[in-house]
Structure 1
Amino acid sequence: MIHFRISDFSLFRIYFLLMHLVCDFDDTLTNTTKYWNFWLDKLEKVGVSRERAIETGSRLFIERFTLKRHMDALSIQDQTAVQLLNEMEEHVKEFGKTYIFPDVHPFLLEHNTNHSFSLLTYGDETNQRWRVSESGIGPYFQPVRIAGPEKHKVEFLKEILQTTAEQIIFVDDSPNELNPVVDAGLPIKLYRIVRPGAKHDYVHERDDVAWTRIGSIDEIKI
């Protein structure tokens, strides 16, 4: 009879099964561009020009964007602000799951038994956790980490490397998030996902050099 120690199973798990996939959320798993355009349509209906809304929102994205902060910056107040916020909350509650790209659920269902997933997104913590919750994919991802101007994604990835023996894969749509990982020399397999029409739908000089460029999540080799 062959006897196994707990450590033997741990080694089997590390070397034969597990990879840990760290995923961005916006325009990686969920169609944030579609969500953003829906919001811009709402703002236009209350008299805010699309150009002004985009310019103001772009500045806020560097910090921690929320719909409320965007309206404050656009001087939308009182009942109009309350109504817009209520309408968006109802919209996300009803349609949040439909924003998830169609390749995501099949990929998660195929791989969640043998591999693990976590989310690493950027923005306002309350806002991002709410959107993840309403998207319906939250249960696949443990934990959900929220980066921001005080602590960038690369810092979270350094911590993940120190706490797991699994091979780490990181997928994001933005070269701004992938470049620091490359420059830090972290031993992480990188993918850049480019969704058609999304904010970062362009060719980058490091595509297929420092990271692998893909068009759908199921192109990840796991």
Structure 2
Amino acid sequence: MAVYGVKPEISDGNAVTHFDEIAQYQAGIYISSNEAVWRILSFPIHERSPAVVHLAVHLENGQRVYFTTANVQQIALNPPDTTLIVFFVLCQNEAFAKILLYSEVPTYYTWNASRKSFERRKRGERVDEQTGIFKETTIGRLYTVHPNEDECFFLHMLLVNVPGPTSFQQLRIVNGVTHATFRSACQALNLLEKDRH
């Protein structure tokens, strides 16, 4: 246990207290013998498990871009890939990815930020009847979208419920019918309540 006090300073007859926050913090720290040994031996103090991968949600050509006057034309012609765009490409190229929801991809694939690609996991638990596929406890978390952002919100809803989409357009196809909006696609999949309910 640590005990410390503050001595008031008298200024013009009024008591004024000044705190040295750094000294106060240092005086108030208590490290037990167990924690001291743990730190001396350089054991990890904390860990996060399972790992969480944040997944982008945006409308077509709506990804966030950062540009300068030097690269504005290049960025406008070739916007950077996001996890969502790369997920569509993955579903086009790999049969196993076509059965996955967007949020399940980080369980079986790692996100390589420098190459902007999903790559198969090389270790973990083997997936039955799938050669070269490994599973980890990693969780995919889609960024939240406020319901006021209509189409993006309904896109988010489709990504959470439709496995293996290959494009924004393919997400709007329900039972062979191409819907004009993500909202109408959600209604066709009965993901939204109707006024009659």
TM-score interval for Structure 1 and Structure 2 normalised by the shorter chain: under 0.3
Query: Which structure has more RCO (C-alpha within 8 Å, separation ≥ 6)?
Result: 1
Considering fraction of residues, name the structure with more helix: 1
TM-score norm. by structure 2 comes to: 0.25
Compare CA radii of gyration and give the structure with the larger one. 2
TM-score norm. by structure 1 comes to: 0.23
